[in-house]
Structure formats: structure tokens, C-alpha cells
Amino acid sequence: MWPSAELHVHIEGTLEVPLLLRLAERNAVELVSSDPEVLQRRYAFDSLQSFLDLYYENLAVLRTEQDFYELCSAYLERAARAGVRHAEIFFDPQSHTERGVPLGTVVFGLSRAIGEAQERWGMTASLILCLLRHLGGEAASDMIRAALPFRRHFVGVGLDSSELGFPPSLFQEAFAIAAAEGLHRVAHAGEEGGPDYVWEALDLLGVERVDHGNRALEDAELMAVLRERRIPLTVCPLSNLALKTAPDELADHALPVMLDEGLLASVHSDDPAYFGGYLDDNIAALRAAGVLTEEQFGVLAANSIVSSFASAERKAELLAEVRAHALALGVAVPAAARRGAAE
């Protein structure tokens, strides 16, 4: 497996059915069924919203700091097996605080697992606080202000949840607060929303990465800007299939076009418990579809590292691992890895 960074994964979306059942029993939360097969069958969707409905329903089992610690630890252990060497993990505090779970409970549980990542799994990791679009711009600004006492626990802010009807322009104040605090800024855009959502994320929110961005390919001028500014796109193939935001076959996915166009694209798992796989599963599915060469898988790995918010030293270390892996496979070393440092 290529050593990679995972930059687009929602920790709440890693809630596997066995852990869901265990936490439900621990916290006396009644689920629609206690049969794992019945629950797993519910993980089938016809749209982003149908997924989000179940996603938010299942969050009821997350109540205590220990719950969040176990959730994050389970993800980190699984990600390490998938070749992830550095992870930048989204979390949705509003989905918990509105249920009465204190923000500190969420942050401290997740941070405790991240603090153990290097020793336990040989990984580095950090948190990105995501704002829920469907709650609106004022709630997003309030959330950022409420989170500032916990500033040392997260490196950036993101924007997720229902995309259509909630353009980036609604969240300018929240992202301005984040920028003033020196936080990194990313946003979901161009998954269901069109290229205009990507333009707004860039021009109005000042994002450094675009999460998804598939529909940017519909706008040649936008592609040129993404290419020239080296704005990363964090692409999630199995998620796109599950939510029907891409063609039904991976052989027709936009990812090869992104690479051919010189865009800084990389592969990630999004909500792996719901969408059929972790990073290695996404790579395996792309490999089975025969749409990428082994050299291109190396480019994706190098792109993920270059696109991360890790320190320059950490990026150089991981790119050296990519270089060594390419040499071991006998394939061309990605350009970023040949340089041995981030772009």
C-alpha cells in the first residue's frame, strides 16, 4: 500500500455497526433493531440527504468522552492498516451540542485518541472542526466563537452537510473568524452543488482545499484556477457511487480526468462505515476498475501528502516513504516525492 495522508474523513462517518450496537447498549439508546444485518441493510442511499438522515440518527449513541475516544481510536487503527500515515479528521460539533453533549466532551475524547496515534499506530493526526450548512450562517459563527477556548485541539474549519440550498456565501462571517484565528479553511463544494459553489468557496471563504470538487470539471476557467493555484481536491470515489453524485461505474469517474488535467487531486474515504470502504478499499476499487496506472496511484499518494496541513518536516518524511515505495515497486517516483518536500 502506498503511504498516504487522509484529508477527507468524517469521524462520525466511521461509526461501524458493531460499535453502534455496543454504544447503544452502554448508553441505553434504543435503535430500530438490534440485528446487525438489519442495521447494515439501512446503509444504502439514493441521495446525499438520505445518507445524512441516517447519519444524524445514529449519532444518538455518542454521549460520553469515552464514546468519542473509542470512535476515533477505531478509525485510527483501521486507517493505519489502510496505509494512512497522517490524518486530518473532520468532526461535527453542532450535531452533538444540539443533542446536549458538551463541546469539551467531544473534543477531549477525540483528542485523547489522536494523542496516542503516533505511539500506537505510527501515525500523526489532527482535527478539523466542520460547520453544518443546514443550520445556517449565524449558527456557524456562533459555533466558531464557542469553540475558540478549545482552539489548540483543532487546526482548521470545514463546511459540510446538505450542500444544495446552502452556498458558501452564507458562511463568510464564520470563515472570517476562523481566518483571523489563523485556522486552516476547507469546504465541501462541487459534490451536489455546481461550479459556482466551488468559486464561492475559493473567492468568499478563502479555502485552501476543496472537498469533493467533482463538478469543477464543468467549468474550464475554474479548472485553470485550481491548477494554477494548486488548490487540492479531496476526492471520494466510493462515496460518490453510494450517493449517486458520480456515474454508476468507477470506470467513468472523473478522477482520471482530474489527474490528466494536472489538478492536485487525491483519494479519501469520506464516511467509510456507510459508503463501503476505507482508503485502501477505495484504492482497491479504482484498481479493479482499471482506470489508473500504478504510477498514478503513487501520484495520488504524493498529492495527499502535499495537500495536507502537516509540518514541512512531516511532509518531507512521508514523501520520502512514497519515494521508497515507488522504487520498491519499480515504478516512476512522483514528482513531489522526487523533490522530497511539499510543493
Q: What is the CATH number of the domain that holds 156?
A: 3.20.20.140
**Closest C-alpha among 132, 84, 129 to residue 111:** 129
Question: CB burial class (10 A; 0-12, 13-18, 19+) of residue 10?
Answer: buried
Question: Over the chain, what is the mean pLDDT?
Answer: 95
Q: Write down the pTM of the prediction.
A: 0.95
* Structure-model confidence comparison of residues 168 and 162, the more confident one: 168
Residue 337 lies in a domain: no
Question: Band of the pLDDT at 342, cuts 50, 70, 90?
Answer: very low
Q: What is the pLDDT of residues 61-79, one digit of tens each?
A: 999 999 999 999 999 999 9
Note the pLDDT of residue 307: 98
Residue 343 lies in a domain: no
Note the pLDDT of residue 312: 96
Q: What is the mean pLDDT of residues 302-320?
A: 97
Query: Is 271 labeled as ligand-binding?
Result: yes
Boundaries of domain holding 93: 4-311
Q: What is the pLDDT of residues 282-301, one digit of tens each?
A: 999 999 999 999 999 999 99
Residue 218 lies in a domain: yes
Question: Band of the pLDDT at 279, cuts 50, 70, 90?
Answer: very high
Query: Is 212 labeled as ligand-binding?
Result: no
Note the pLDDT of residue 45: 86
Q: What percent of the chain has pLDDT over 90?
A: 90
Residue 330 lies in a domain: no
Note the pLDDT of residue 86: 98
Number of domain units in the chain = 1
Q: What is the pLDDT of residues 178-226, one digit of tens each?
A: 999 999 999 999 999 999 999 999 999 999 999 999 999 999 999 999 9
Residue 336 lies in a domain: no
Of 12, 65, 88, 191, which one is the catalytic site residue?
191
Residue 324 lies in a domain: no
Residue 14 lies in a domain: yes
Separation CA 315–CA 75 (nearest Å): 22
Residue 335 lies in a domain: no
Question: Band of the pLDDT at 246, cuts 50, 70, 90?
Answer: confident
Q: What is the pLDDT of residues 139-161, one digit of tens each?
A: 999 999 999 999 999 999 999 99
Q: What is the pLDDT of residues 260-277, one digit of tens each?
A: 999 999 999 999 999 989
Q: What is the mean pLDDT of residues 40-52?
A: 87
In degrees rounded to 5, what are phi and psi of residue 185? Answer: -130, 130
CA angle, residues 10, 281, 12, in degrees to nearest 5: 15
191 in active site: yes
Note the pLDDT of residue 340: 55
Q: Which residues contact 183 (CB under 8 A, 6 or more apart)?
A: 151, 154, 155, 156, 157
Instruction: Supply 204's cell numbers.
Output: 468568499
Separation CA 341–CA 244 (nearest Å): 36
Note the pLDDT of residue 341: 43
Query: Is 281 labeled as ligand-binding?
Result: no
Note the pLDDT of residue 44: 85
Note the pLDDT of residue 336: 84
